[in-house]
Amino acid sequence: MKILIVNGPNLNLLGTREPEIYGTISMEKYLENLKSEFHSYELKYYQSNIEGELINRLQEDDFDAVVINPGAFTHYSYAIADCLKNIQKPKVEVHISNIYKREEFRQKSVTAANTDAVLSGFGMEGYRLALLSLK
């Protein structure tokens, strides 16, 4: 199974960005751990700070399932929501922090309705839990 993991804006800074919220491990390091645990999956990773690039990547359709953390686009990108709606494959939305304990604007996801599940507040472990849900 080919699984695409997609991260949105500012998630390239994982490991250094607000460690009290996002932890101290980089996505690259965490991805190494995921690849060793889920060796039967082909994990592909993509990150961009640009909305259109995320949509273009999702439209490439070279995966069997997607795990997405849209970052701030979660709260206002109807374009990404529409893109996800068009993908007829398993989709899990992940948020490292508990978005419901944060600022009011972060408590609404416009993308979640177009995914099969949402994980929020499990830290980086949310990516692992998302992969487990796809077995």
87: left (phi over 0), alpha (psi -120 to 50) or beta: beta
Cα 48 to Cα 51: distance, rounded to the nearest angstrom: 7
Query: Which residues are designated catalytic?
Result: 22, 95
49 is in an annotated binding site: no
128 is in an annotated binding site: no
Contacts of 91 (CB under 8 A, 6+ apart): 65, 66, 67, 68, 84, 114, 115, 116
69 is in an annotated binding site: yes
Per-residue tokens: 43: 């994990």
Cα 123 to Cα 24: distance, rounded to the nearest angstrom: 10
> Is residue 92 within a helix (H) or strand (E), and if so which, with residue range?
strand 91-95
55 is in an annotated binding site: no
Question: Residues forming the annotated binding site for substrate?
Answer: 69, 75, 82, 96-97, 106
- Annotated binding residues, written as ranges, equal 69, 75, 82, 96-97, 106
